[in-house]
Amino acid sequence: MKKNDQIITTILDLTYEGNGIAKVDGYPLFVENALPGEEVKIQILKVGKDYGFAKTIEIITPSQDRQEVSDSRYIQTGIAPLLFLKYEKQLEFKKQQIINLLAKQHMDDINVKDTVGMDNPFAYRNKAQIPVRNINGELTTGFYRRHSHELVPMEDFLIQEDGIDELIIQVRDILRRYEVSAYNENNNSGQIRNIMIRKGHYTNQFMVVLVTTREKISPLNAIADEIQDLPNVVSVVQNINPNKTNVLLGKKNKTLRGFPYIEDEILGNKYRISPNSFYQVNSLQTQKLYQIAIDKAELTGKETVVDAYSGIGTIGLSMAKRAKHVDGIEIVEAAVKDANRNATVNHIGNATFQVGKVETVLKQWASDGKKVDVLMVDPPRKGLDKSLMDTIKQIQPKKMVYISCNPATLVRDLASLVTDYEIGSITPVDMFPMTNHIESVTRLTLKHN
């Protein structure tokens, strides 16, 4: 078997990334755009020692679970890699991924509930980060082809909230009129790297962030004036990123017009969102995610809650109404300032947020004899740090609620905590429809209080 060979085969299963699995003479192939049970004609893309990669070039016998894809670019770019799978089957697929991981750890007895989906699984993202490049001599917006830096021109991104796609086109056309140069990553030249749009779902406020290679762009004032005049734009910000890097945003923001933030709401609380703020991108599902987390915590109003990785305070402040006190811990100083300000804005007096590493602060609290009734964790994809796990076992909070964005690290962490904690049900929440990403909420209860 070699690159570009064409083979007819049957798909056996799906990987966690949503690729089909085929075996040819016992050799595994991971196949794009293929579903279990389908007979497909594939073309080999890459051959490795233990497995290879292929793409589907013809579906001979389609699965009943397949749905029609109107534009292949959504799959090619990775914007909606599961678009060809019916939505109810996507929800089943995500639940099954968690079940499979638990089985590998011999934790089959843990109940995984049905995935909480959306009524309309499109147009859900409140944030867009769109690269700007030169194609055929013209400043162009679009998205990268998967596993490459080749820009695919696009105007309809399918999964972004109403108004965002239209605003990207309007900003692009303004930049074209003023003959602003697009970024060239090969030699780190050009003026505009990215256009970022943030939208307040419940306020309909828009922020436009122009990510530039340098501070002085001519004629930036005229460009900012025109963008500010677009409907519902309340914030125009320049972010300066001069480095040759894949990191999207630089360290410096400059408010060009309007406010340095937009506002939005979660479960009745108002939040200010700045260009660098972590804020869940699916506003409708965030309400469900946080409500599930609150319900799993079973708060009575007497508990001290610690909100680890607290960000701008969205989870902690959502829980504060039902708790005695909420303490938030966050390593990003700007986020802590936002969180404390959000507490003030929402007249919440029983929540405070401080800067620090979660494991360091909790260890100090343990030394001081501070009790934690409920520990809320919402870690990055790498899961809980080993030193934090050790601290958890030391302070022994009566309950934990674990919001996870990575089932693999969730199950790893649960396997470590199961000696001390009773693992309750896991509730998957589909925060990213049409993709393979899986969010979930798990409750843990201390076995010996």
- List the domain boundaries for the chain: 6-66, 127-266, 282-446
Q: Assess whether the region 6-66 and the region 282-446 belong to the same CATH fold.
A: no
> What are 54's two structure tokens?
């292929």
Q: Please tell me the predicted confidence (pLDDT) of residue 147.
A: 81
pLDDT profile of the chain (449 residues), mean per 10: 94 93 96 95 95 95 95 92 96 97 96 98 98 96 91 97 98 97 93 98 98 95 98 98 92 97 97 93 97 97 96 96 96 93 97 95 88 95 92 92 97 96 97 97 91
Q: Look at residue 377 in the predicted model and tell me its pLDDT.
A: 97
**What phi, psi does 199 have (nearest 5°)?**
-130, 135
Q: Is 405 a catalytic residue?
A: yes
Of these residues, 405, 408, 415, 446, which one is catalytic?
Answer: 405
Residue 324: CB atoms within 10 A of its CB come to 14
pLDDT of residue 449: 62
When the candidates are 3.40.50.300, 3.40.50.740, 2.40.50.140, 3.40.50.720, the CATH number that belongs to 6-66 is 2.40.50.140
Fold of 127-266: OB fold (Dihydrolipoamide Acetyltransferase, E2P) (2.40.50)
Q: For the chain, how are helix, strand and coil distributed in percent, rounded to 5?
A: 25, 35, 40
The CA-based angle 167-405-384, given to 5 degrees, is 135
- Token pair 């209080």 is found at 449
Domain 282-446 in CATH 3.40.50.150? yes
